[in-house]
Each structure stands twice: as structure tokens, then as C-alpha cells.
Amino acid sequence: MEKNVLALQLSHLLGEEYSRDWVYSLIEIPKQEKLGDLAFPCFQLAKSFRQSPAKIADQLAPRLKHDLFASVQPTGGYINIFLNQRFVTEHTLKQLLTSGTDYGSHEFGANKNVVLDMSAPNIAKPFSMGHLRSTVIGNALANLAEKCGYETVKINYIGDYGTQFGKLLAAYKKWGDEEQVRANPLPELTKMYVKYHGASQHDPTLIENGRDWFKKLEQNDPEAINLWKWFKDASLTEFNKIYDLLGISFDLTRGEAYYNDKMDATVDLLKERQLLTESDGAMVVPLDEEGLPPCLIKKSNGTTIYATRDLTAAIDRYRSYQFDEALYVVGHEQTLHFQQIKHVLTKLNLPWAQDIKHISFGMMLQNGTKMSTRRGKTILLEKVLKEAIERARANIEEKNPGLADKDLVAEQVGAGAVIFHDLKHDRRNDVEFSLEDMLTFEGDTAPYLQYAYVRAQSILDKGGFELDKADASLDDSLAWPLVKQLRHFPNVVEKAYREYDPSKIARYLLDAAKMFNKYYAGTRILQDNQLDARLTLVHGFSLVIKEGLRLLGIQAPEKM
């Protein structure tokens, strides 16, 4: 609110040439408290006003007046605004009390549809740490979209088709033991896949054998189909165990194979629009004008490729959901692929092609290199989650052995630690896998935030806080940094969604928890003077921390 008020006043004072939005974009939050709560730099006005920034600030500052402003001071070319702490504190706490868990919500989504393509593990392979990123980033973005007023559809687009499955079928026929695979499906299938990949480096006939089995799969050969269905069902059963631990669900789980009988229509449409060209026996859509290599639609042997399936899936999703945004939460190594998909859809004159967005992210690295199932270099997510939960359980036994629902709390804390370790990083950056960093229960971690929430709940219980006795008229300068932080929550939610960056929520929550802990350490919250007002502030903090964790897909235990 205060930034809007300041922007409106300055825009009015500066004249029509300087819009409210332009002024708003320049308003800063000073890093040092002594420089105020808001600041407007006058340097970009110097040329048109033909005056020094300092002189412009001197002239404008006395003309800025509002109940929100305690004082306005020109300093070195900046206009520094000190807010009326009591007025702003009361307004913030009233907003929190009125909104409850809806605090920070927005309506700019206007019930428009956002479809998210996320998680997308490959069948017949264990769920590795490499697929964690798409899963938790996609889930957090869906939560943020809903918080901003959108309707969402979360799609788990399972990798259940392609030449790699021809290799797997060939490997099973060569080395597979049905009894062992049924007893321990994913590890056994992965072992065979890795063995096949290694052996094919020295035996070209294996590569051809894999291609033959994939062609059988495309031609609905009964044996190939039965094996493929078995591997798929076993994989989904194992994947669902992971999703349950992470607390993540989907609106639609659909594999690439679903589009097998629908791809001919896409190829026909490309032919009809005269977009297909033959190249060395393969069918491609040239993208020379876009500065990209051609998009391969059919290989020379007549088999399709995942671009064909992604084009078909995109068309199907728009027909099904009329989406306003389609977010593909996929690693940055697929950037070229999604550029090609978007340009081909644009060439088909589909106006919604511009609403497709590739939400790329960095890789999960192990010792500085990418994890790879084919090379046998991967870390299993289920193993990491179970170890995190076991460590959380041991921590509870050591510090609070009488805690009720210990197993549930251990799952909330362990899974939260794994999720937060990913989401606290800017999604575009690579993340180095470190079990120790992930499972540290101090510092910039989910357990630190969960414990701050538990502490707040304990204070509210001891103080006997009741909503009908809530008092927003807090007059406490020590609380001011925390009040300002709580006040920023709606802005952070909006920015996190508009930039598709859940780490903004994670970093915000860490700052909020640190400010709360500092306030707790320096204030006797439960003393009689202003007790109800201080408890109202603690209640407001607990609302924000719990809601922020929920947006990230993390639960907040009531006790730890």
C-alpha cells in the first residue's frame, strides 16, 4: 500500500510524463534501517529537470504527506521515507486477522487455467534425485498459481515410450529373470538397462536389436505390449510411494504412449499446412528462419520421436483445458526442444502457442557432474527420503521422546528437509547433491522454519491467545522489522509466481523466521503489558510461516 501511495503522489508532483508505474518501479527498500523504510532515487530526473538529484530531492520531499509517512527526508539524491510504525503495524495486523490463511492471496489469475507438465519420471527406472527438481518446483508453482487466483491442472507426463524402451525390452529378452524382476522390479530393470547400454558400445547388433523391439512396440506386437504394460504398472506403484512421502498429487497422470494413435493426425496437419520436408529419408519441419535446427517429426525408419508426441500432447491439452498458460517444468538441457515445439505450433497458426512456457531449471549434480541412469550414476530419491525421515525420527527421540505422532512428524520434517533444500536455490542454478547439507536441521533449512512455527504455537498456547481477544494496536519498535517482513508477504507471493521462482518464498521465510527469533530473544512476549497485541503479532507470523511452507509443499507440525 505504502509504495502505491508514494508512487501516486510522486507521479502527480512530477507531471503526466512520469507514470505511476514508472515511479513505482524505481522505489527501493533501503538495506540500512537508518535510511528509512522506502527510498526514491532522483538521479533519472536530473537530465529532464536540469537540476542535481540532491536539489530535486530537497524540493520534492516536503511536498510528500500522508498518514503512512512519519517523516520524509532528502539524503544525497534520494528521498527517504520513514513509515508511521504504529499506523502501519495496526493496518498489517488487521489485514492478517481479517484474511487468515488467505493473507497474501491475489485475484489477477481471474480463474484462468494454468496447465503444468511436471515430474515426468521414466518408467522402468527408479525415481532418482534428478527428477526431484521438476516435481517439487512444479508443485510449488501450482500452489503459487492457485494463491494468485488461477485454476491449475497438474499433469505427470510419464516417460513410457521411445527407443530406450526398445532397448529395455531387448535387454529383458536377453538377460531377464521374471522371478527376480517381479520380486524387485525397478532395481532389476535398471541393472539390465545399464548392462545393455554398456554392452552396446562394443556390440552394434544390440543397438539394432533395441530398434527392432521398439518397432514391435509401435506395431502393437502382443509380447512387446505385455512386457511394456508390466514394466509400466510396476513403475507407477513404486513412483506413488515417493509421491505419498512428498505429499504431492496430480490431476492427471498420462504417459507418452497415450498419444500413439493420435500422432498421425498431427503429422497430417503438418502435411496439410505444407510444413514437412524430407531430409535423408526422415520427415522434418525446417526452422531456418528461426535460427534453429529442423524439428524431427519422423525418423527414416518411420518411427516417431518425442517431438511428435509433445506436439500432439500440446494440441490435446489445449482442446481439453483451453489453458491460458502451459508451463513445462523441465530441465534447461531441453531448451532447444521446447523452442522447436513452440515454433512449430506457431507455424501451424495456433495462437495459444505463445502461451507455452518452458520453466527451465539447473541440474542436480553429483560431484560436479550430471547424474545418469545409463552410466549407472544416480542417487535414489526414495533412499534419500527414508534416510531424512530416519534422522528426523532419531532427533525426536533424543530431544522430545514423549511427542505424540512421532512417525508423522518425522515424515513431515524429513520430507520437508529434502524439498526445501531444492527450493531454496534459484531454479536456474545447478544444485550439488549433498546428503549432509540436505539433512542438517539447523541453518537455512525446513526444520529451522518448522521449529520457528512450533515455537510460535507454543507461545500462543502459553499466552492463552484467542482470536476474539486479538488486539492490532501494537506499539513496539522492536517488532517493526518483523511487521515489515509480514507486510511484504503478498508482494513476494506475486513476484514468486510472475517470475516462476519458488526460491523467493523460501528465502523470504528464512528472513521472517530470523526476525521472529530475534524478536523472541529480545522481548518478554508474555508480560502483561500489551500481551494481546504481541500475541496477535505472533499469530500473524505463524499464519505466514505455515502458509509459506504450504506454498512450497511442506507441512508445518504443531509440535516437534
Q: What is the pLDDT of residue 377?
A: 57
Cell numbers of 428, please?
536456474
Beta pairing, strands 282-285 & 295-298:
antiparallel
Please give the average per-residue pLDDT across 369-392, as a whole number: 77
Between 261 and 374, the higher pLDDT residue: 261
Q: What is the pLDDT of residue 110?
A: 97
Dist. CA 511–CA 498, nearest whole Å: 21
Q: What is the pLDDT of residue 127?
A: 86
| pLDDT grade for 372, boundaries at 50, 70 and 90 | low
- Select, from the ranges 182-196, 303-317, 371-385, 477-491, the one with the highest average predicted confidence (pLDDT): 477-491
Please give the average per-residue pLDDT across 233-238, as a whole number: 92
Percentage of residues in the chain having pLDDT higher than 90? 84
- Sorted by where each starts, the structural domains of the chain and their CATH numbers stand as 2-83 (3.30.1360.70), 119-370 (3.40.50.620), 392-551 (1.10.730.10)
Burial group, residue 205, by CB count within 10 angstroms (0-12, 13-18, 19+): exposed
Dist. CA 193–CA 518, nearest whole Å: 53
Q: What is the pLDDT of residue 304?
A: 75
- Least confident segment among 22-31, 206-215, 288-297: 206-215
Cell numbers of 187, please?
532395481
Cell numbers of 41, please?
532515487
Cell numbers of 360, please?
527451465
- Least confident segment among 106-110, 190-194, 488-492: 190-194
> Phi-psi region for residue 265, left (φ > 0), alpha (ψ -120 to 50) or beta?
alpha
* Residues paired with residue 39 on neighbouring β-strands, in sequence order: 28, 80
Q: What is the pLDDT of residue 167?
A: 92
Q: What is the pLDDT of residue 436?
A: 79
Flag whether pLDDT at 452 surpasses 80.
yes
Flag whether pLDDT at 367 surpasses 90.
no
Cell numbers of 154, please?
497438474
Flag whether pLDDT at 374 surpasses 70.
no
Please give the average per-residue pLDDT across 3-27, as a whole number: 95
Other Cβ atoms closer than 10 A to 375? 12
Dihedral angle computed from the Cα positions of residues 137, 142, 148 and 153, in that order, rounded to the nearest 10 degrees: 150
| pLDDT, tens digit, 9 for 90 and up, residues 340-363 | 999 999 999 999 999 999 999 999
**103 closest CA partner among 502, 559, 491, 509:** 491
Please give the average per-residue pLDDT across 449-475, as a whole number: 96
Q: What is the pLDDT of residue 187?
A: 87
- Least confident segment among 172-181, 309-318, 375-384: 375-384
Flag whether pLDDT at 142 surpasses 90.
yes
Q: Contact at 8 Å (CB) between 322 and 113? A: yes
| pLDDT, tens digit, 9 for 90 and up, residues 297-340 | 998 877 778 899 999 999 999 999 999 999 999 999 999 999 99
* Position 30, amino acid: P
b (16+ CB within 10 A) / e for 223-260:
ebeebbebbbebbbebbeebbebbebebeebbbbbbbb
| pLDDT, tens digit, 9 for 90 and up, residues 245-303 | 999 999 999 999 999 899 999 999 999 999 999 999 999 999 999 999 999 999 887 77
Flag whether pLDDT at 554 surpasses 60.
yes
Dist. CA 245–CA 413, nearest whole Å: 11
Flag whether pLDDT at 375 surpasses 80.
no
